[in-house]
Chain A
Amino acid sequence: MTNMQYLLLGTAVVWIGTFLYVVSLIRRQNQTLDMIKQLKQSLEDGR
């Protein structure tokens, strides 16, 4: 591998990794908010 290829590999690891981490945080947040909505609904249905 050339030096430029090592640079591209390192740069890709940092920024693709960061992007994927941000996406995973937003996805987990949306899933949790959906779950909260369902749980609130089931508590209201039970009244």
Chain B
Amino acid sequence: MRARGLTVLGGVTFAAVLAALYMALIDAPPERFMGDLQRLMYFHVGSAWAAMLAFFMVFVYGAAYLFTRRSAFDRAALASAEVGVFFTTLVLITGPIWARPVWNAWWTWDPRLTTTLILWFIYVAYLLLRGSIADDARRRVAASIFGIVGFLDVPIVHFSVTWWRSIHPNLISGGTINMDPAMTRALMVNGVAFVLLYALLTWLRTRLEAAREEAAQLRHRVYERIADRPDERERAGRNSESDIS
């Protein structure tokens, strides 16, 4: 049933990605001043929306884990964080590729750019933190708290263009999108495609984490068995000696 669900989601996401590519590269009109380069915005903004959703879900799953202590929530939080870092990386690469010909600079310490870079560092630190605590229960609690606190940067990224003087384009102001309707349509299709992509990647990463946890438990049982039986311990020792020589 789960495998079928994943296949369906994969198919729907693939179709949405094809539609997003068509809308961004062919259907949407070129921008008056930037020409075709502006088409990169559809992928850049789509990735940014998916990243924000991913970090919001880290916050939700973290809170759910702290309340219920169900490991499934922790696995989903980890998956969401990794996928969020992936999408933020795309944002931080496509942004400078767009900025170089438009601003004549790959990077400036603009509030939106700086807060997004900080966001990327926060969730890379989240992933590093998870790798640095061996005890399962402690790691899950620490990661959940970190994920909840780290989410504070997401609204700061969103409002950075209105709170401070910024040269970053502001697409949404006063609840409306300031673009031609054909461009808005292309942006919406890309938004849907990237959200579906987020769901698919998170599902695949959660499934991987569940398999890894099962492998770790089985490995633990194998080690316990080796420790309980002197003959196997001896054989394991001989194997490791021959590996060294």
Contacts and interface: CB of A to CB of B under 8 A. Distances in A.
Interface in A1-36: 1, 3-4, 6-7, 9-11, 13-15, 17-18, 21-22, 25-26, 28-29, 32-33, 35-36
A14 B214 CA distance: 32
A29 B21 CA distance: 28
Given A6-B98, A7-B36, A42 B43 contact: no
Interface residues of B, number: 39
B101 A6 contact: yes
Contacts of B201: 21-22, 25
A11 B222 contact: no
B35 A3 contact: yes
B205 interface: yes
Interface in B162-217: 197, 200-201, 204-205, 207-208, 211-212, 214-215
A34 B214 CA distance: 12
Contacts of B214: 36
Interface residues of A, number: 28
B208 A11 contact: no
Given A11-B43, A14-B90, A29 B208 contact: yes
Contacts of B208: 25, 28-29, 32
27 contacts: A6-B37, A6-B97, A6-B98, A10-B93, A11-B40, A11-B43, A13-B93, A14-B47, A15-B21, A17-B86, A17-B93, A21-B86, A22-B204, A25-B205, A25-B208, A26-B204, A29-B208, A32-B211, A32-B212, A33-B211, A36-B215, A39-B218, A39-B221, A39-B222, A43-B218, A43-B225, A46-B225
Given A6-B37, A25-B208, 8 more contacts: A6-B40, A6-B100, A10-B98, A14-B47, A26-B204, A35-B215, A39-B218, A40-B218
